């Protein structure tokens, strides 16, 4: 294999990696279907799988399998190492793992030519970019959030007229959607919160409410009600200020956040809306 051809493989691999990386910040599809990170994983995986297969078929007889694979493995091994060094980048770890797995899948199939092996590896990849990605993001973002040991029974929230304790709300399970006024993601999820509320509207054991965190100076409860009305949604709005012990006890520093409290108002879930829905479904099934 000529040196010029081998350097071209490196240039193709690195160039393709650089071209598709910006897609991690943008999705051409609605967020309900697929997020931007999964979108980048899929495009990168397919592109690198095709390029790896082409290179193996064309150059392996002349240069050997591992030498041809190296240019396609290197960008992802480098990115993985960088993510572990910069621990904050681990939240999108599967963005590196899935394309790397696609390259390995192609290499294994090229080497052994077993359909069952291709199907197995492809199934694992598909699980990785769908449910695996969701599970990882949930664990990374909320896996260390306090539950079971946190009791919010005596903490107060405010409605339009007075303050009262969470223990005074009559429901076996209380779902709190915690949000604030400058959170764009919060607004996008509000219709889904209303859908969840409507799903359990006839179930007296479940109460779904909106908890407006007044984090911006000068905000009042009226702002929370106005925002909900402007969104055209019918969700009960309760308010807490930035000094509320609820935020401190549940370590709420990112929004939106969904809490599920049991009858004694112990926190039994602290995370995203999607996984809150799964938890609630199991609790009342």
Q: Which tens digits make up the pLDDT trace of 44-76? A: 999 999 999 999 999 998 888 999 999 999 999
Instruction: Write the pLDDT tens digit of every residue in 155-210.
Output: 999 987 788 999 999 899 999 999 999 999 999 999 999 999 999 999 989 999 99
- How many domains does the chain fold into? 2
How far is C-alpha 282 from the geometric centre of its chain's CA atoms?
Answer: 20
Instruction: Write the pLDDT tens digit of every residue in 232-248.
Output: 999 999 999 999 999 99
Q: Which of 142, 175, 195 is the last residue of a domain?
A: 142
Q: What is the CATH number of the domain that holds 221?
A: 3.40.30.10
Do 273 and 170 sit in the same domain of this protein? yes
Q: Which domain holds residue 128?
A: 3-142
Do 18 and 51 sit in the same domain of this protein? yes
Flag whether 150 is in a domain: no
Flag whether 39 is in a domain: yes
Do 48 and 160 sit in the same domain of this protein? no
Is this prediction's pTM over 0.85?
no
Q: Which of 142, 165, 185 is the last residue of a domain?
A: 142
Contact 39, 29 (CB under 8 A): yes
Do 124 and 18 sit in the same domain of this protein? yes
Helices vs strands, H then E, count in the chain: 10, 7
Q: Which of 114, 142, 170 is the last residue of a domain?
A: 142
Contact 105, 48 (CB under 8 A): no
Flag whether 148 is in a domain: no
Give the pLDDT band of residue 219 (cuts 50, 70, 90): very high
Do 218 and 171 sit in the same domain of this protein? yes
Do 194 and 77 sit in the same domain of this protein? no
Do 195 and 96 sit in the same domain of this protein? no
Task: Provide CB contacts within 8 A for 10, sequence distance 6+.
Answer: 71, 74
Flag whether 147 is in a domain: no
């Amino acid at each position: 294999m000529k040196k010029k051809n081998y350097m071209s493989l490196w240039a193709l691999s690195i160039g393709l990696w650089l071209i598709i990386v910006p897609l991690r910040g943008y999705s051409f599809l609605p967020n309900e279907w697929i997020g931007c990170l999964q979108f980048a994983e899929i495009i990168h995986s397919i592109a690198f799988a095709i390029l790896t297969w082409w290179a193996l078929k064309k150059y392996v007889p002349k240069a050997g399998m591992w030498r041809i694979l190296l240019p396609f493995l290197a960008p992802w091994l480098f990115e993985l190492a960088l993510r572990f060094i910069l621990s904050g980048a681990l939240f999108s770890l599967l963005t590196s793992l899935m394309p790397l797995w696609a390259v390995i899948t192609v290499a294994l199939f090229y080497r052994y030519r077993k359909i069952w092996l291709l199907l197995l590896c492809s199934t694992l990849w598909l699980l990785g970019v769908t449910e695996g990605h969701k599970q990882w993001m949930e664990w990374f973002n909320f896996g260390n959030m306090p539950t079971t040991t946190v009791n919010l029974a005596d903490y107060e929230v405010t409605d339009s007229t007075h303050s009262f304790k969470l223990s005074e709300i009559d429901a076996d399970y209380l779902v709190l959607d915690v949000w604030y006024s400058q959170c764009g993601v919060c607004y996008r999820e509000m219709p889904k919160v209303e859908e969840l509320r409507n799903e359990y509207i006839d179930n007296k054991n479940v109460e779904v409410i909106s908890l407006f965190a007044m984090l911006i100076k000068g905000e009042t409860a009226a702002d929370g009600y106005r925002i909900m009305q402007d969104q055209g949604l019918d969700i009960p709005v309760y308010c807490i200020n930035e000094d509320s012990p609820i935020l401190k006890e549940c370590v709420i520093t990112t929004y939106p956040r969904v809490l599920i409290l049991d009858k004694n108002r112990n926190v039994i879930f602290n995370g995203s809306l999607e996984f809150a829905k799964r938890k609630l479904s199991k609790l009342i099934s």
